[in-house]
């Protein structure tokens, strides 16, 4: 683990990215892309925890559009993250990694419950720990779950993988004049209303001095370069 800037990371992955070019579900190529990226990262000696969203299957925030009340919709979204966690676990094991799927909602048949000390021990043994079912409570996003779990396990950084290479003044896919931030403070992200992660997640990280790096997850070897200290994406801290 020599020359590593970060030795224990929490990787936050988008569920929507798993769709690839599909409109719904899991595209095998994207799933295996995640798996190979994580394997490259693990081979550096970094301890890795993962939180993956469920937006490719169901988004609790959209529940009102279908007439489903918010709390019920949020629980449905949590179950979607468990499905994605199971898929990612299978892909990681196909490429030779040892994993543990951990859930905030009790379901012994498929995952173990979240116990902080046990999760940390898995990381110390070189296992990739996948946290699923969010925080286990409604009204919290998987971004908030990522911030919470990262602090609980003593991660050095949250690596937030997105479709763009950092945080911009506006959505670069919609506004070609948008400019990228190389570094930005938590307070400024929140005051500008930049929707990369929700305000709760940023606040948790700000209060606990946990930096976030927002980067393009499709870029080859981006995670490995990040943990070695290379400046990629946007660093949020301070």
Which helix (H) or strand (E) segment holds residue 137: the answer is none
* C-alpha of 146 from chain center: 6
With CA atoms as reference, report the closest residue to 106 among 126, 128, 133. 133
pLDDT-derived band at 62 (thresholds 50, 70, 90) equals low
Query: Judging by DSSP bridges, how do beta strands 128-132 and 157-162 pair with one another?
Result: unpaired
pLDDT-derived band at 24 (thresholds 50, 70, 90) equals confident
Average confidence (pLDDT) over 153-158: 98
**180-190 pLDDT, tens digit each:** 999 999 999 98
Could you tell me the two tokens for 23? 């409109």
Which helix (H) or strand (E) segment holds residue 202: the answer is helix 199-207
Query: Judging by DSSP bridges, how do beta strands 180-181 and 112-113 pair with one another?
Result: unpaired
**DSSP state at residue 15:** T
pLDDT-derived band at 207 (thresholds 50, 70, 90) equals very high
| pTM listed for this prediction | 0.93
- Which pLDDT value is given to residue 16? 86
pLDDT-derived band at 196 (thresholds 50, 70, 90) equals confident
194 pLDDT exceeds 90?
Answer: no
With CA atoms as reference, report the closest residue to 156 among 2, 44, 11, 41. 11
Residue-range domains of the chain with CATH? 8-236 (3.40.1160.10)
User: Which single residue is written with the structure tokens 């489903």?
Assistant: 68
95 pLDDT exceeds 80?
Answer: yes
Q: What is the CA radius of gyration of the chain?
A: 17
């Amino acid at each position: 683990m020599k020359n590593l800037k970060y030795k224990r990371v929490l990787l936050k992955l988008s569920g929507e990215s798993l769709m690839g070019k599909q409109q719904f579900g899991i595209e095998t190529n994207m799933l295996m892309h995640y798996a190979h990226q994580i394997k490259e990262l693990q081979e550096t000696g970094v301890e890795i925890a993962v939180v993956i969203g469920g937006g490719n299957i169901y988004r609790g925030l959209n529940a009102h559009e279908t007439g489903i009340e918010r709390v019920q919709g949020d629980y449905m979204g949590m179950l979607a993250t468990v499905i994605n966690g199971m898929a990612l676990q299978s892909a990681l094991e196909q490429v030779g990694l040892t994993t543990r799927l951990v859930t905030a909602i009790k379901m012994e048949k498929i995952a173990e419950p979240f116990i902080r000390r046990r999760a940390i021990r898995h990381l110390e043994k070189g296992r990739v720990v996948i946290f699923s079912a969010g925080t286990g409570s409604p009204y919290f996003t998987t971004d908030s779950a990522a911030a919470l779990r990262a602090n609980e396990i003593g991660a050095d950084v949250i690596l937030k993988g997105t479709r763009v290479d950092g945080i911009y003044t506006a959505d670069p896919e919609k506004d070609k004049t948008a400019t990228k931030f190389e570094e930005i403070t938590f307070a400024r992200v929140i005051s500008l209303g930049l929707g990369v992660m929700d305000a709760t997640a940023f606040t948790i990280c700000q209060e606990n001095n946990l930096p976030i790096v927002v980067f393009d997850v499709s870029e080859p070897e981006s995670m490995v370069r990040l943990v070695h200290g290379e400046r990629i994406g946007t660093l949020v801290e301070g």
